[in-house]
Structure 1
Amino acid sequence: MRQNPGRRTALLDAAIEVLARDGSRGLTFRAVDAEAAVPNGTTSNYFANRDDLLNQVTQRTRERLTPNPSDVETTMREPHDHKLVTRLLYDLLDRMRRDRSSYLAMFELRLEATRRPEVRALLIDVFRANLQDGIDFHLGASLPGDEITVVLLYLAMSGLLIDDLTVPEVLAPYPYDQLIADMVERILPPAP
């Protein structure tokens, strides 16, 4: 296997674009080569097989969707209250919209997981880690609420993100800013 990290990352980013645009069935080594504008056969030099590619795509989407630590540090200087939780969720929505392909690729991987146990096992690990990271961050920052609060916010935002990135017309009558603010106020315990 080739070891050029820059080329590997470019191929993974191309695979994310293919997955988001064409779905799981469209994700082939040839399609990734074409998207990355590299010679045919390049992807097969970097990934042992399709499962290896899917595994690494999953990890790459997680990297791409993780917030910039300096942005988080700046945001976390605000008072740790309902308003900050609302801001963090707005930032999440903005991040997903800016990297729509990564989120849609993850959605495609979820669908693939319903058909393939090895993909399912991988996604369980990744999504469990994502949720635990969210819980640890929330509780570690002494934000209002407990572990179940974070799980409920995760579930509510997951639904909002799926509709926003796939069928935004469904939520068009409802301003997102207000939806997220109401979500926080209704899920978090009352402010002291």
Structure 2
Amino acid sequence: MRTNPERRAALLHAAIDVLAEEGARGLTFRAVDERAGVPKGTASNYFADRDTLLRQAGQHLFVRLTPDPEYLAERMSRPPSKALDAVLMRDIVERARSDRNGFLAMLELRLEATRRPELREVFTEHYRANLEENVRAHVEGGFPGDRSTVVMLYLAMTGLLVEYLTLPGVLDAAESPLDDLVGSLVDVIVPER
């Protein structure tokens, strides 16, 4: 297998875009090569098989969708509040807007994980660790609410993103803009101090 890290990253980004645009069934080495603009056969030199490509694309997706640490540190340096919770939730929506393919690929891989135990294991482990880190940061950071507050925000934002990314016309037709909906979710879920 080839080891050029830049080429591997480019192939993984291409795989993520193929997943978002064509679905898991459309993820082939040829499709990845075409999307990455590399010669035919390149992806097969980097990934032993399609399962390896799927798994590594999933792992790379977590890196791609992780917010910039400096940006997040700036946000978290602010005093903890319900208003900051709303800002953080709006940041998630903004990341989905700016990397729609990344979030759609994540949804596609979550569906694929229902059929592939090894992928489900990787995703479950990552999501569980991410949720626990969010709970820890929320509680230890002095934000209003407790573990259940974070879990409810997680569930509400997951549903909102699925709706927004898969059937955008539903929320576009709503009376409130998406950012207002996020604010309403936070108002309902996060308790007052």
Deviation at 1:69, TM superposition (A): 1.1
Q: Which residue of 1 aligns with 2:189?
A: 187
**Residues 77 and 118 of structure 1: CA distance in aligned 2, closer, same or farther (over 3 Å):** closer
Deviation at 1:178, TM superposition (A): 1.9
**Separation in 2, partners of 1:5, 1:73:** 27
Deviates more, 1:50-59 or 1:82-91: 50-59
3-state SS of 2:2 partner: coil
Cα root mean square deviation, aligned: 1.2
Deviation at 1:14, TM superposition (A): 0.3
Deviation at 1:150, TM superposition (A): 0.5
**Separation in 2, partners of 1:40, 1:130:** 37
Q: Which residue of 2 aligns with 1:29?
A: 29
Q: Which residue of 2 aligns with 1:123?
A: 123
3-state SS of 1:38 partner: coil
* TM-score in terms of structure 2 length: 0.94
**Separation in 2, partners of 1:170, 1:91:** 21
- After the TM superposition, which residues 30-179 of structure 1 pair with which residues of structure 2 at under 5 Å, given as runs? 30-172=30-172, 173=174, 174-179=176-181
Q: Which amino acid aligns with 1:142?
A: G
How many residue pairs get aligned? The number is 191
**Separation in 2, partners of 1:53, 1:126:** 18
Q: Which amino acid aligns with 1:98?
A: S
* TM-score in terms of structure 1 length: 0.94
Runs of 5+ unmatched residues, structure 2: none
Deviates more, 1:137-146 or 1:97-106: 137-146
Deviation at 1:119, TM superposition (A): 2.0
Runs of 5+ unmatched residues, structure 1: none
Deviation at 1:189, TM superposition (A): 1.7
User: Following superposition, which runs of at least 4 residues in structure 1 exceed 4 angstroms of deviation?
Assistant: none
**Separation in 1, partners of 2:134, 2:99:** 19
CA deviation digits over 1:70-111, x for unaligned, max 9? Answer: 111222232210000000000111011111111100111111
CA deviation digits over 1:34-78, x for unaligned, max 9? Answer: 111111111111111111111111111111111111111222232
Deviation at 1:168, TM superposition (A): 1.2
**Separation in 2, partners of 1:117, 1:148:** 28
Q: Which residue of 2 aligns with 1:15?
A: 15
**Separation in 2, partners of 1:93, 1:184:** 13
**Separation in 2, partners of 1:77, 1:114:** 38
Deviation at 1:149, TM superposition (A): 0.8
**Separation in 1, partners of 2:137, 2:51:** 31
3-state SS of 2:142 partner: coil
Q: Percent identity?
A: 52
